[in-house]
Amino acid sequence: MCDTVSPLNGSNLSIAAFLKQPAEWKNSVLGALCFSADAVESQIQTDMGVPCMCVSMQRLDAGDSICEVWHGSGPLTRGQCGAIHYRHDEEVLFGVIVLSETIFEAGTDKTPLQQATESAYRQVFALLETLRYPYLFRFWNYIADINTHSFGLERYRQFNQGRQDAFLAHGRDVVGNVPAACALGFGQGRSAQGPLTIAFLAGRMAPLNIENPRQISAYQYPQQYGPRSPTFSRASLVRLGLDEVLFVSGTASIVGHATLHPADVVAQTRETMTNIKAVLAEANRLASRRFDLSSLHYKVYVRHPADLAQIRAELAHCVGDTLKAVYLQADVCRQELLLEIEATAAHPLVSMSGQRD
């Protein structure tokens, strides 16, 4: 989330602070991603017409909630299509979809979670085709009990099946030209309570998709990680108006396709940051102005709250005093991964002459 004024920018504040903002400020909001231990239904979507994703995740660093708010530029249009609540300006659309697995039957050849995921993504693709925002920048996916096994398969792998089924059904690429994304778990063993919750950003300008040379692309993972590979890129660089926005996908201690340092949270944090550095190096080949670790805003998903102090210390060592991070308790897609980090930044677009366009 960036602090500068741009066609797409974001800010972090508590849900209570959001509700106290003046109407003019709220009218510029495309949507919000809200995290709290209780995941109470906020007034944001109900009373203000702002698409709001609410996820039951405890904030570990400070406060009882965090709200990641994305702002648009110019007049905004809001609407609902099926289960999707959305808002858009002339360039960017933000949407949220929440689906309960209980509305899908388990007796078919697809699990309820797989069906819910496919339905959600099909609705997203259909909406974007109708409104003509064809390019997906970023997905945020939150899945109850992501590491639990049911119907003979881990739930994260069921999610990947449903996601890819929807991509293929709509004729979308499943390799190369795919959006940045994360997929995290919540619920911590409460028998998959809570719906599948997805937020997304899309637009009318094609992003530049970025991979990490230290890692096999997620969409090319071998079958040992499930019958369908995860469908996301390591990052997306989006050029909007006078700015470039970088979305770094959920990143962890993986080199090639293997998890490293399975029992060492400090080493995993260090390896994760090495991967983010590698992604930045690739992004900087395409960006008009360099991104570095200090320019990023981080969201850090921590499996075990007791690891927080060590993770924060290592991140401070890697980034320095300018570290901007929010810490949430979450389950990561592989059992042996102790944390996952995503990041966002924005810069003014600079022309070849070195002047801001």
Residue 340 designated active-site? yes
Strand 92-99 versus strand 325-329 pairing type = unpaired
Which two tokens mark 64? 């009882």
CA-closest candidate to residue 177, choices 131, 236, 129, 121: 236
Strand 52-56 versus strand 29-36 pairing type = parallel
> Which residue type, as a one-letter code, is found at position 143?
I
CB atoms within 10 A of CB 143: 28
Q: Which of 68, 154, 314, 340 is catalytic?
A: 340
**For tokens 């066609």, what's the residue?**
7
Contact 58, 303 (CB under 8 A): no
CA-closest candidate to residue 92, choices 197, 198, 207, 180: 207
Q: CB within 8 A of 264, min separation 6: which ones?
A: none
Helix (H, G, I), strand (E, B) or coil at 220: helix
Residues with catalytic function: 340
